[in-house]
Amino acid sequence: MSGHHQLAGTTLRSRTADAVANDRLRTNVARAVDRFATHRREGLGELEDPDGLRSAARALKQQVLADLPGLLERFADQVLARGGHVCWAPTADDARSYVVDVVRRHGATRVAKSKSMATEEIDLNTALEAAGAQVVETDLGEWIIQLADETPSHIIAPALHRDRHQIHDLFVDTVGAEPALGTEPTELVGFARGRLREVFLAADVGITGANIAVAETGSIVLVTNEGNGRLVTSLPPVHVVVLGMERLAADWAQAELLLALLARSATGQRLSSYTNIVTGTRGDGEVDGATELHVVILDNGRSQLLAGEYHEMLACIRCGACLNVCPVYRQVGGHAYGWVYPGPMGSVLTPLLAHGQPEAAELAGASTLCGACMDACPVQIPLQDLLLSLRRRKAEGAGAAERAAWAAWAAAWSDARRYGATTRLATWGRIVAPLAGRLPVGRSWGAGRTVPRPAARRFRDRWREGM
């Protein structure tokens, strides 16, 4: 497994086939998502009318998106007024260049990162390393996959595909842990705490994402359980935020409602251990905090989604609830999705944001359209409808064979007589059913399942005969 996403050069089918053949992975994934999903139900169960709150959250996100340019201006002005620098980054390259420039200007070699999917999306770490910086991920799960040179398999629990023995061995192999280190979670976490404490204290630059950016006050809200978000924003003298342009709330009333739903949807907690609100730089008389703040506002394809069929996907608050209820994700884990964002939200975002990668389009097929994700989403994104839209978009570029097959089907079945003729053939097909196994479609079905046989007399035959 390489540290780079597997989208290019592989197919969704090959990635999912590999994943389901990995029993250990499936066990780990099922255990993780079941726990999250159960806790989510319990957490939301403590709220009166959680569906009403979800509906209100959907509505407020609609308001934010409708007013996004104005809110971004307000947010930026507030950040500037508090002494923070703002970079408008239309492309991934603009964002990378700016951050690399900041790091270079400080002669920085040690960068501590708090988990940020936006930075993964633009592959920021590679650019920083090329510029001579040593980048250490500080979220425990992210550190684990960084050491393993892997990509995250879940947006809340990036290393859930690894169990304690695998993590122990990784620490021994890559960062010199004593083989005698136990495999109890407390020992593994204790080891990581010690190592990463050194990183926090020595870092020149801290880089984070943001869960919510509040326009009213120019604040960044960073939610973590581990405390690495606080450490990365308190100890290094320079703090860089990479912010997806859509992650805004207009004011604190909106931000508070989102926070009321975020932790409960993700892990079932009432609130995460640390809801960290950063506004501007270190205050006079304060002993810590960054003295220099940079907020990089990233577009990278998001603005193109506004107002169109995929508009509502921009409401996503990256909670992971959809992953935890997805029956497909459950079987294949995150790597099968091939890119930064897995599960239902990844099946929608990957074709939309991974522009220029033709393999991205088939992600829309990584779903049975069961709808469980829509029921779980705290902002009620109509994921199923977005997937269907993406499938229509993909079908426009479909190959001649597939188009011809559907056209032939439609020609036959758009008329009762032709439908009758072709389905009568199917009943003759009872005799030749074994031959159907030779067709690609038949092979795909038949590898692991018996092939159903058409009935000798169809329902309509029996109806005609009198029922």
User: Per rule CB under 8 A, is residue 331 in the interface with other proteins?
Assistant: yes
Rg (CA), the chain: 25
User: Per rule CB under 8 A, is residue 375 in the interface with other proteins?
Assistant: yes
User: Per rule CB under 8 A, is residue 16 in the interface with other proteins?
Assistant: yes
In the complex, least distance from residue 354 CB atom to other proteins, rounded to whole angstroms: 18
Q: Which residues contact 177 (CB under 8 A, 6 or more apart)?
A: 168, 171, 191
| Cβ-contact 89, 296 below 8 angstroms | yes
User: Per rule CB under 8 A, is residue 357 in the interface with other proteins?
Assistant: no
User: Per rule CB under 8 A, is residue 148 in the interface with other proteins?
Assistant: no
Query: For residues 176 and 459, which CB has a smaller minimum distance to other proteins in the complex?
Result: 459
Task: Determine which residue in the list 48, 178, 465, 466 makes contact with other proteins, applying CB under 8 A.
Answer: 48
- The helix (H) or strand (E) run that includes residue 278 is strand 274-278
Task: Determine which residue in the list 204, 225, 433, 437 makes contact with other proteins, applying CB under 8 A.
Answer: 225
In the complex, least distance from residue 129 CB atom to other proteins, rounded to whole angstroms: 23
Q: Which residues contact 270 (CB under 8 A, 6 or more apart)?
A: 43, 46, 263, 264
User: Per rule CB under 8 A, is residue 423 in the interface with other proteins?
Assistant: yes
Task: Determine which residue in the list 1, 175, 307, 421 makes contact with other proteins, applying CB under 8 A.
Answer: 307
In whole angstroms, give the CA distance from residue 103 to residue 111: 8
Task: Determine which residue in the list 107, 356, 400, 414 makes contact with other proteins, applying CB under 8 A.
Answer: 414
In whole angstroms, give the CA distance from residue 364 to residue 303: 20
- Restricting to residues 69-128, which ones interact with other proteins according to CB under 8 A? 69, 72-73, 76, 79-90, 94, 98
Within a 10 A sphere around the Cβ of 433, how many other Cβ atoms?
15
- Restricting to residues 263-302, which ones interact with other proteins according to CB under 8 A? 267, 269-289, 293, 297, 299
Q: Which stretch binds other proteins (CB under 8 A): 118-126, 127-135, 158-166, 352-360?
A: 158-166
The DSSP bridge partners found for residue 220 are 213, 278
Task: Determine which residue in the list 5, 74, 122, 141 makes contact with other proteins, applying CB under 8 A.
Answer: 141
Task: Determine which residue in the list 217, 265, 300, 347 makes contact with other proteins, applying CB under 8 A.
Answer: 217
In the complex, least distance from residue 413 CB atom to other proteins, rounded to whole angstroms: 5
In the complex, least distance from residue 234 CB atom to other proteins, rounded to whole angstroms: 5
To 10 degrees, what angle do helices 164-175 and 185-202 make? 40
In whole angstroms, give the CA distance from residue 240 to residue 217: 18
- Restricting to residues 394-413, which ones interact with other proteins according to CB under 8 A? 394-395, 398, 403, 406-407, 409-411, 413
User: Per rule CB under 8 A, is residue 358 in the interface with other proteins?
Assistant: no
| Cβ-contact 99, 292 below 8 angstroms | no
- Restricting to residues 246-265, which ones interact with other proteins according to CB under 8 A? 251-257, 259-260
In the complex, least distance from residue 336 CB atom to other proteins, rounded to whole angstroms: 8
Ramachandran sector of residue 448 (left: φ over 0; alpha: ψ -120 to 50; beta: rest): left
User: Per rule CB under 8 A, is residue 347 in the interface with other proteins?
Assistant: no
In whole angstroms, give the CA distance from residue 47 to residue 49: 6
User: Per rule CB under 8 A, is residue 37 in the interface with other proteins?
Assistant: no
User: Per rule CB under 8 A, is residue 208 in the interface with other proteins?
Assistant: no
Taking the mean position of all CA atoms in its chain, how far away is CA 18? 20
The candidate with the shortest Cα–Cα distance to 123, out of 100, 144, 141, 104, is: 100
In whole angstroms, give the CA distance from residue 123 to residue 132: 15
Task: Determine which residue in the list 41, 106, 110, 458 makes contact with other proteins, applying CB under 8 A.
Answer: 458
Q: Which residues contact 51 (CB under 8 A, 6 or more apart)?
A: none
User: Per rule CB under 8 A, is residue 53 in the interface with other proteins?
Assistant: yes
